[in-house]
């Protein structure tokens, strides 16, 4: 599985953002709709086509209000973000070994900047960032992964896409990269990840380092 380019999802893969995403979804639903969301459905949609699509599932008539309430609650919480244990060391070691690294995320690029400010190692080790506003179609469509590869000037056969959601696995496979699932995100259970038939499922950064 040795490939020179490693693309990562961000939420639930590099940064432990699941709790603040769920808290902000709850805040938006309670504030705008006056009701608790179905947390299982909220979790299942994280990492997919983006925030507006998730809010459409809550109430298609109140998408803009829900998105605004979510962002107002969520953006300040980025000041509390942490990388998963071992992730900074993993990124630095991959770069030291000569790998080229990129991030392909459902987040908007300006929100990615908040994570970079909190965790400078992400900026230092990342060559390319593709966010929600960079493509018309979103994961599980392969376009975001293909956009990152195009910017780096490499073929899918040279790359691995690493993510914590079924949407990541589908996008990587559809793009023609190897697709590696990570089980430490705390959002999607292993069984759901394995149902997408990733090329590998790892549970610690050291496992990923040994794999790629």
pLDDT in tens, 74-128: 999 999 999 999 999 999 999 999 999 999 999 999 999 999 999 999 999 999 9
DSSP 122-155: HHHH-SEEE-GGG-SS-TTSSHHHHHHHHHHT--
- Vertex 137, ends 26 and 9: CA angle to 5°? 60
143 and 156 fall within a common domain:
yes
188 and 85 fall within a common domain:
yes
Q: Is 9 a catalytic residue?
A: yes
Counted domains in the chain: 2
State how far the Cα of 16 lies from the Cα of 10, in Å rounded to an integer: 9
State how far the Cα of 212 lies from the Cα of 210, in Å rounded to an integer: 6
* Range of the structural domain that residue 32 is part of: 18-80
| pTM exceeds cut of 0.85 | yes
Inter-axis angle of helices 63-77 and 51-58, to 10 degrees? 130
- Vertex 178, ends 197 and 174: CA angle to 5°? 70
Q: Tell me, what CATH number does 107's domain have?
A: 3.40.50.1000
Phi, psi angle pair for 211, to nearest 5°:
-80, -45
114 and 166 fall within a common domain:
yes
pLDDT in tens, 35-76: 999 999 999 999 888 899 999 999 999 999 999 999 999 999
Burial (CB < 10 A; 0-12, 13-18, 19+), residue 139, is buried
């Amino acid at each position: 599985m040795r490939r020179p380019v490693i693309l990562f999802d961000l939420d639930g893969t590099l940064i432990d953002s699941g709790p603040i995403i769920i808290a902000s979804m709850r805040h938006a639903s309670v504030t705008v709709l006056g009701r608790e969301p179905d947390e299982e459905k909220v979790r299942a949609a994280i990492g997919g086509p983006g925030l507006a699509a998730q809010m459409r599932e809550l109430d298609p008539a109140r998408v803009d209000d829900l998105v605004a309430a979510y962002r107002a609650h969520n953006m300040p919480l980025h000041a509390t973000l942490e990388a998963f244990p071992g992730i900074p060391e993993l990124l630095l070691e991959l770069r030291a070994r000569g790998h080229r690294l990129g991030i392909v995320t459902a987040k908007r690029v300006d929100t990615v900047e908040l994570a970079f400010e909190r965790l400078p190692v992400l900026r230092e080790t990342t060559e390319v960032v593709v966010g929600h506003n960079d493509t018309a179609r979103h994961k599980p469509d392969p376009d975001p992964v293909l956009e990152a590869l195009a910017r780096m000037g490499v073929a899918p056969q040279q790359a691995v896409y690493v993510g914590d959601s079924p949407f990541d696995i589908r996008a990587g496979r559809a793009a023609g990269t190897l697709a590696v699932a990570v089980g430490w995100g705390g959002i999607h259970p292993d069984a759901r990840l394995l149902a997408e038939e990733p090329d590998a499922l790892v549970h610690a950064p050291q496992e990923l380092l040994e794999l790629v």
